Structure 1
Amino acid sequence: MERILDDEIHDVGFGIKHLVAMAKSLGESPRKRWKTLVESHCRGGIWPPFNDSARLAAGLSRDFYDSLAS
């Protein structure tokens, strides 16, 4: 399980880096781009509980997803 968690933290971190770069290229804030992507690709929203410490370790702070949690 620890190996899977480490892999997920790495994968989420990779995605966040690309999200930030994409948002900057579009002249948007990363949080706004994140919200747009979640709303268009995650039908019904996202549901807690979240592993906040692992997400933060990957660079995804709660302010990205708190307002979107169902």
Structure 2
Amino acid sequence: MTRLSRPTVYRLLRTGELPSLRFGRSYRVTEEAVDEYIARAAGHNRNQPDPPSTTPMQPPHEF
């Protein structure tokens, strides 16, 4: 159970943080999308540093 309020879920749908399909007035969210969102949200709640950047490091300047 994620314990998200209805307005929060609609915000996630509107911003695209939680991918969905819309059929008329209904939203459909795959179980996989929910699992991925929970995994991302759990990773942000831990007190861990952000993952390293994917940009390559420059070698130090020589003097």
TM-score (norm 1): 0.29
Instruction: Point out the structure with max Rg over C-alpha.
Output: 2
Which protein is richer in strand relative to its size? 2
Task: Return the structure number with greater relative CO, CA threshold 8 A, min gap 6.
Answer: 1
TM-score (norm 2): 0.31
